[in-house]
Amino acid sequence: MDFSLSEEQRMIKDSVRKFAQERIIPYAHQWDHEGKFPRELLYKMGELGYLGVPIPEEYGGAGLDYISEAIVFEEVGYADSSVRTTLSVQMSLVELTILKWGTEAQKQKYLPNLCSGQSIGCFGLTEPNAGSDAGNISTSAKRSGDGWVLSGQKVWISNGTWADVAIVFAQTEPGSKHRGMAAFLVDTKTSGFTSRKMTGKLGLKASDTGELFLDNVQVPESALLGKVGEGFKIAMSALDNGRYGVASGCVGTAQRALDVSVRYAKERIAFDKPIASFQMVQDMLAQMKVDVEAARLLVYNAGWVKNQGLVSTIPVSIAKLFATEAAKRNADMAIQVHGGYGYSDEYEPEKLWRDCRVASLYEGTSQIQKLIIGRDLTGIAAFE
């Protein structure tokens, strides 16, 4: 496999990096303190084609490959994980799920506006009592005439209060767990659908996170995504895409932690010399560099598998596991290199650390990734 970037991919990388340096990095700390970033930023990203990288042009996307998608996530993740989270949910969890499972009418209705940024999407799976145990959701879907009535609550939903359309997972047969799950495309202006912003997060403070409340929300049969009983498969395929986006973004975070540490180590003087000359500092920088390179190659390997149209669950889980943990290690080590200043919000490491901590939790914890990999190795599931 040759992971050298094509001319087109290099142009994408340069374009996104320039955009991030001009439109994201200078404002990221301000957005973090304010707990929000301007929605207009997404419109601009949509105009530049960043919101629909792997979506075919016929549906408003750029029609590019998955390595290009990883490049976009890495560069945006380098600039700010809150923006990357918003972008990843939009593209990985919502757009690609509609592309794979939606009818032609659903694709035509939703994808062009999602790719342009005129519409924002969210992914409603997690509930107060159903996180990793996705088959235990209690949100219900009951047949009503020619449609369905949805009732329940979702939590920790990125883009939750911004969203114009939500993919909502519900149980059609109480007690049937995976077998009865279904997915629905719900316009958030539908009567009975409300949301509430969740605050008090450790990191990703500029990213919108909300609770969703569905109180007898009536949707037509045309809102059903896929078939009844396919909800769990839809959720898992979506999470494969979401994990790829998280892993790619964490490569950017790990690279940012390395870059700011190298810069600081060369500037900071102690004992009459730059601390970069100290062996233990070089040891930390070398470890950070290895983590960045290994994480990027694992992401590109997963992207190559996806580009071949092959089942990518295992390479994606491996990339997600390693890249998220690598980002955490690098952010933590960046604080160590910066010493006391690393603990201050006047310097970058503390925000990098806060923002990347959640990466090993959402889209499947690191422990879930290990169980997926372990099941593939042994043929034995740790749980059903």
In this structure, is residue 167 part of a structural domain?
yes
Q: Specify the 3-state DSSP secondary structure of 219.
A: strand
Q: Domain count for the chain, please give it.
A: 3
* pTM metric for this prediction: 0.95
| Cβ(323)–Cβ(360) below 8 Å | no
In this structure, is residue 346 part of a structural domain?
yes
At 68, which CATH number?
A: 1.10.540.10
Answer with the one of 120, 154, 182 that is the final residue of a domain. Answer: 120
Residue 1 scores a pLDDT above 90: no
Q: Which residues pair with 217 in a beta bridge?
A: 150
What token pair was written down for 39?
Answer: 């929605």
Closest residue by Cα to residue 120 from 231, 234, 39, 191: 39
Answer with the one of 208, 229, 250 that is the final residue of a domain. Answer: 229
Domain check: are 50 and 186 in the same one?
A: no
| Cβ(6)–Cβ(66) below 8 Å | no
What token pair was written down for 33?
Answer: 């303190």
For residue 322, the model assigns a pLDDT of: 98
Domain check: are 114 and 213 in the same one?
A: no
Domain check: are 276 and 219 in the same one?
A: no
Domain check: are 184 and 242 in the same one?
A: no
Domain check: are 95 and 148 in the same one?
A: no
Q: Considering 75, 95, 363, 384, which one is annotated as catalytic? A: 363
Residue 262 scores a pLDDT above 90: yes
Within its chain, how far is the Cα of 235 from the centroid?
14
**Per residue in 161-208, pLDDT tens?**
999 999 999 999 987 887 899 999 999 999 999 999 999 999 999 999
Question: At residue 185, what are phi and psi to the nearest 5 degrees?
Answer: -95, 115
Answer with the one of 197, 229, 261 that is the final residue of a domain. Answer: 229
For residue 162, the model assigns a pLDDT of: 95
Q: Is 363 a catalytic residue?
A: yes
Q: Report the distance separating Cα 119 and Cα 80, nearest Å.
A: 21
In this structure, is residue 219 part of a structural domain?
yes
Q: Which domain holds residue 136?
A: 122-229
pLDDT band for position 384 (cuts 50, 70, 90): low
Which stretch of DSSP H or E encloses residue 299?
Answer: helix 279-307
Q: Report the distance separating Cα 91 and Cα 238, nearest Å.
A: 10
Q: What is the DSSP string of 163-212?
A: -SEEEEEEESSTT-GGGGEEEEEEETTSTTEEEEE----SS-TTS-EEEE
Cα dihedral across residues 10, 15, 18, 19: positive or negative: negative
In this structure, is residue 286 part of a structural domain?
yes
**Per residue in 43-91, pLDDT tens?**
999 999 999 999 999 999 999 999 999 999 999 999 999 999 999 999 9
For residue 98, the model assigns a pLDDT of: 98
Domain check: are 95 and 12 in the same one?
A: yes
At 266, which CATH number?
A: 1.20.140.10
> Burial code of 28-58, b = ≥16 C-beta within 10 A, e = fewer?
beebbeebbbeeebbeebbebbbbbbbbeee
Q: Specify the 3-state DSSP secondary structure of 216.
A: strand
Q: What's the N-to-C CA distance of the chain in angstroms? A: 35
Residue 117 scores a pLDDT above 70: yes
CA atoms within 13 A on the CB side of 317: 20
Domain check: are 109 and 127 in the same one?
A: no
User: How confident is the model over 336-349, as a mean pLDDT?
Assistant: 97
Domain check: are 219 and 145 in the same one?
A: yes
| Cβ(286)–Cβ(262) below 8 Å | no
Domain check: are 183 and 265 in the same one?
A: no
Give the chain's mean pLDDT.
96
In this structure, is residue 384 part of a structural domain?
no
- Geometric angle at alpha carbon 181, from 51 and 361, rounded to 5°: 55
| Cβ(368)–Cβ(215) below 8 Å | no
Domain check: are 127 and 241 in the same one?
A: no
Residue with tokens 């920088």: 285
| Cβ(155)–Cβ(204) below 8 Å | no
User: How confident is the model over 104-125, as a mean pLDDT?
Assistant: 98
**Per residue in 312-322, pLDDT tens?**
999 999 999 99
In this structure, is residue 2 part of a structural domain?
no
Largest CA distance in the chain: 80
In this structure, is residue 75 part of a structural domain?
yes
Q: Which residues pair with 196 in a beta bridge?
A: 211
For residue 25, the model assigns a pLDDT of: 98
User: How confident is the model over 131-150, as a mean pLDDT?
Assistant: 92
In this structure, is residue 45 part of a structural domain?
yes
Domain check: are 372 and 237 in the same one?
A: yes
Domain check: are 87 and 102 in the same one?
A: yes
